[in-house]
Amino acid sequence: MDTRSLAQRMVDAANAINASRKAEERRNAGLQTPEPLCLPLPNYWVTDPASAHLPAIQHWSHPFGDRGNPLRQLTLLANAERGYYPLGRNGFWHLGVHFDAGTAGILDQSQVRCVADGEVVAYRIDTRSPSTRYLFDDAQVERPFSRNFVLVRHRLQAPEISGLSAPPSLTLYSLYMHLEDWAAYRQDQTLKRPAFWPESNTRRVKDTEKDFVPGLEGLHWLRCRIGPNGGAVISGLARGTEVTLSGTGSYRKLENIPGPRQLLQDGALLGYVDSSFLEPLPRGDYRIATWRDDGTLNVRPSASVEGKPLMTLPNGTEVAVSGTGNYRKLEWVNQYVHFDSLLGEREPQALNEICVLELPVPIRAGELIGHLGAYQDHGDALPRRQLHLEMFSSESVQTFLDVSRAWAQHLPASARTWLKLPQGTPVVPHQTHFSATTPPRANTGTPTSSADLHLPKQLLEGLGADSKIRIPARDGHAGFTWYRLDDLLHGSEGQLLAGWVQVEDDHAHWHSPWDWSGYAAILNGDSLESCQAYALNVQGILPSERDRARAARLADLSDQGPIRSRLFDLVDRERHEVMTAEELQQALHLPALAQSISRLAIYSESEWHWRPGKWDALDDLFGHSSSSPHHNWLAEKERIQQLCWWNEVAPRLGLPVNGHVWHLHPVGLMGHFNAGNDENDLRWLKVPFGQLTFDTEGNDVEDESNPLHRYFSRVVHWPGGVSGVTIGRGYDLGQQMSSELDLDQAGVIEPLKTWLVDSQGLTSLAAKNRLETASREILLIQITRKQQYNLFITTYKRLEDDVKRICQKAATIRAYHANPNIDPEKAWSDIPDRIKEILIDLRYRGDYTPTARSHIQSAAYLGDAIAFGRALSERAHWPNVPQERFQRRINYYESRN
């Protein structure tokens, strides 16, 4: 009997796998490329120090917030104009995905979001993106290209199993390439800045400020005052105004605006003041004398008493003046503004260089990474906006997959959230009479699927009742379910199939994400030279006859290489066509093929690793030589070198200096785990307590055509009256004191989180105005059902504590309890739970007033269900309660008795 622990057996198995695979991989690599690959195969039970401190990924997000099913997210990538995984339009292997003009009509690409929880470890922001100078018809043209990027480190870890050692984990990196430059942020002040940039000395007036300032009309202002402790108001700053400050405390001095806006003209200060009313200050400036009787000093348009005053300055205002004589020119007027009314501006740590952060900055899934930058290839008529997104690991993904698969065998059945429909699954075309009594039936003529397809459980559970037919077990036969699945599976000719598939209870292929079903690891031994030769051969533009035979041999190497061979196996088993980006793009329109391609883990050199030799090897193919230079090819190599960042970043992050890493499909990986994410599971609409309150504080109707949609609670709203801005089921920002902590704990992320925090304390019309001036982006953001659930639990417990406090108050006990000397704790514990729920619901809506207590508190203390119900049902006691809420309370209370 093997007496080793499960964990030890798994370690030994992994080590055995490592040893055999290492030899095999080196043999394969030697056959496929003149440069032997050196594959790192670490022991996964030793945590990588680089990510040991990182919490494991808990949340995932699409880079543009798409919440569609993961199959749609994959097929959507077929709309990109270029840059598919794992092959680009230029013929080179491309181990990331692109979002560009082709996907812009489907996705909101206004900002790039982080795909998973992690930490920002490096980035680059140029003042202005560089450009490449190409030659067209002997004329030079400039083509800009963004080389700005953000690199985020993550830790992917399997779920823990009680009694076993640490689960297998993998250090991952996500890369966001071709982002916007600094000039764009300077030109567009509304462009939100990433939170991982450090705060600068520059701040901005919040868009919630709405002070009135005499003499300034037409806008909302932040008041400017005369001293560090506040004092008289002299001017105002419009919302969004950028300021730099000095000092500390509640009011701080403006350093970039010379004086009141009433006196500003072209950035300079107008006006003269009577010098006889100025008191010198120790530092050389002046103060308007505080002993003056009229309290203000006129600012004259010229150095005389003539003319209507431009404005008045209060006594005590600090000024700087120039000139001599009775009237002196104003050069500066000190102004102080309320610091908490300003938002901190963020700026990159450095410009025009790669920032590898000494202290990485935590970032959560869905938080802002940046915005799409401009990129123009030499053949493009205009710059395009595009994102290159990729995910990679320097650790052995193959070993991680093997160990994870062993680990997954001991996870509970509830972890199996993916259903595999194997190749050959019959798809019965729909007929209107199908039902539980006349279900679909497959026969020899029924079309069958031509590829494996993995479906997330949530997709099946989300199908409507008309798309499910349940056949229960009977007469010794197992039960099964028919699901209507349209345009997910495809047939032998590549046509999408529509119809019903049968899933048996006992024989269905259910998998955990940690089974990595359908994933395959591939070593790329294809050189750039052979890859480019293949592309030129397909285009029929191989070089001269002298070199054609050599180029053809190189093309054959790529054709028989491991990646292209695997793609042929998936897309074209008979090898009817060549394997190009165009062929790959067509395959990506089919969900099963898009998914299979996304489950290829590829070990290859990063395209961001600069090694001149690998690019110089292409000189002959492009017809370049020292005697006959190819100007545009030389320019292209210079651009590639500027785009590369690996050599500078890798040594400081512990990444392989040779650039060889495992690449994973970023959208595929995100969907692989996000599909099992229950953030929007229906179970989050049931709460452990306070269901009455939860149900009456909103609904989950997202359909805008439905009249009930106006009560949809997972977007920001204002319930009216004295309420504040509200999110979820009654989380009222007007009543909160620590909203930032609550929102963090609930998982609400930017940009909504900051907007909500800035709404704290606003009630009534102020809250209404706050909502009416919110951006469309804020108004459209939906929190998840789970986030709503978390906020409700937080609020409900807080209000339950408040009701308990009131019930335990000596004054309340004396007024309404039969025993005024009862222990306060017992006075509360004696109240039946069903009555407590009503009391808390009353408090939630603001109905638990002294007047209300005069009607119900005695019955609550006595636990008199009949008397309490009678008081609750007396409409005259509740004149300000809406009829629906009034009736719901009665119905709920009666149902609990």
Q: Dihedral angle at the C-alpha atoms of 162, 165, 166, 170, nearest 10 degrees?
A: -120
Same domain, 175 and 50: yes
Same domain, 48 and 169: yes
The distance from CA 544 to its chain's CA centroid, rounded to whole angstroms, is: 51
Neighbouring CB atoms inside 10 A of 714's CB total: 20
* Rounded CA Rg of the chain: 34
> What pLDDT, on a 0 to 100 scale, did the predictor assign at position 678?
65
Predicted confidence band of residue 755 (pLDDT cuts 50, 70, 90): very high
Instruction: Tell whether the model's pLDDT for residue 499 goes beyond 90.
Output: yes
C-alpha separations of 505 from 429, 449, 508, 512, 721 in Å: 22, 20, 6, 17, 53
Query: Which range, 450-464, 497-511, 696-710, 732-746, has the best average confidence (pLDDT)?
Result: 497-511
How do residues 188-242 score in pLDDT, each as one tens digit? 978 989 999 998 888 889 877 888 888 887 777 899 999 999 899 999 999 889 8
How do residues 458-468 score in pLDDT, each as one tens digit? 888 888 889 99
Determine, yes or no, domain membership for 325: yes
Predicted confidence band of residue 879 (pLDDT cuts 50, 70, 90): very high
How do residues 559-608 score in pLDDT, each as one tens digit? 788 888 889 889 887 777 788 889 999 999 999 999 999 999 999 999 99
The answer to whether the CB of 413 falls within 8 A of the CB of 392 is no
> What pLDDT, on a 0 to 100 scale, did the predictor assign at position 164?
80
How do residues 296-314 score in pLDDT, each as one tens digit? 999 999 999 989 999 999 9
Determine, yes or no, domain membership for 125: yes
Same domain, 159 and 221: no
Same domain, 5 and 134: yes
C-alpha separations of 378 from 142, 374, 531, 633, 875 in Å: 9, 13, 20, 10, 76
pTM above the 0.85 mark? no
Instruction: Tell whether the model's pLDDT for residue 702 goes beyond 90.
Output: no
Same domain, 353 and 340: no
Q: Which helix (H) or strand (E) covers residue 646, if one does?
A: helix 646-653
Between helix 833-845 and helix 785-808 the angle, nearest 10°, is 100
Predicted confidence band of residue 750 (pLDDT cuts 50, 70, 90): confident
Longest dimension (CA), the chain: 112
Q: How far apart are CA 850 and CA 24, in angstroms?
A: 80
In degrees rounded to 5, what are phi and psi of residue 247? 90, -175
CA-based nearest residue to 428, from 416, 413, 445: 445
Q: How far apart are CA 228 and CA 363, in angstroms?
A: 36
CA-based nearest residue to 60, from 674, 681, 744: 674
Predicted confidence band of residue 697 (pLDDT cuts 50, 70, 90): very high
> What pLDDT, on a 0 to 100 scale, did the predictor assign at position 560?
80
Tell which phi-psi region holds residue 780, choosing left (phi > 0), alpha (psi between -120 and 50) or beta. Answer: alpha
Q: Which of 627, 652, 677 is the last residue of a domain?
A: 677
Split into its structural domains, the chain has a count of 4
Q: How far apart are CA 521 and CA 37, in angstroms?
A: 15
Same domain, 338 and 485: no
Same domain, 167 and 239: no
Same domain, 4 and 142: yes
Same domain, 167 and 215: no
Instruction: Tell whether the model's pLDDT for residue 43 goes beyond 50.
Output: no
Same domain, 119 and 148: yes
The answer to whether the CB of 689 falls within 8 A of the CB of 796 is yes
Q: Are strands 384-393 and 453-456 parallel, antiparallel or unpaired?
A: unpaired
In degrees rounded to 5, what are phi and psi of residue 833? -60, -40
> What pLDDT, on a 0 to 100 scale, did the predictor assign at position 90?
84
How do residues 604-640 score in pLDDT, each as one tens digit? 999 999 998 888 888 888 888 888 889 999 999 999 9
Q: Which helix (H) or strand (E) covers residue 92, if one does?
A: none
Q: Which of 296, 323, 344 is the last residue of a domain?
A: 344
Dihedral sign (CA 7, 13, 19, 23): negative
Determine, yes or no, domain membership for 331: yes
Instruction: Tell whether the model's pLDDT for residue 822 goes beyond 90.
Output: yes
> What pLDDT, on a 0 to 100 scale, did the predictor assign at position 620?
82
> What pLDDT, on a 0 to 100 scale, did the predictor assign at position 548?
66
Same domain, 264 and 325: yes
Determine, yes or no, domain membership for 765: no
Between helix 833-845 and helix 865-873 the angle, nearest 10°, is 30
Q: Which helix (H) or strand (E) covers residue 223, if one does?
A: strand 216-227
Determine, yes or no, domain membership for 304: yes
Helix (H, G, I), strand (E, B) or coil at 169: strand
Q: What percent of the chain has pLDDT over 70?
A: 92
Determine, yes or no, domain membership for 770: no
> What pLDDT, on a 0 to 100 scale, did the predictor assign at position 541?
66
Determine, yes or no, domain membership for 630: no
Q: Which amino acid is at 42?
A: P
Six-digit token pair at 737? 């004191």
> What pLDDT, on a 0 to 100 scale, did the predictor assign at position 3?
41
Sorted by sequence, the CB contacts under 8 Å of residue 3 that are 6+ apart come out as none
Same domain, 489 and 584: no
Question: Which residue range forms the structural domain that includes residue 828?
Answer: 809-897
Determine, yes or no, domain membership for 165: yes
Greater pLDDT, 9 or 197? 197
Average pLDDT over residues 146-156: 97
Q: Which of 617, 652, 677 is the last residue of a domain?
A: 677
Q: How far apart are CA 728 and CA 687, in angstroms?
A: 13
Average pLDDT over residues 525-552: 71
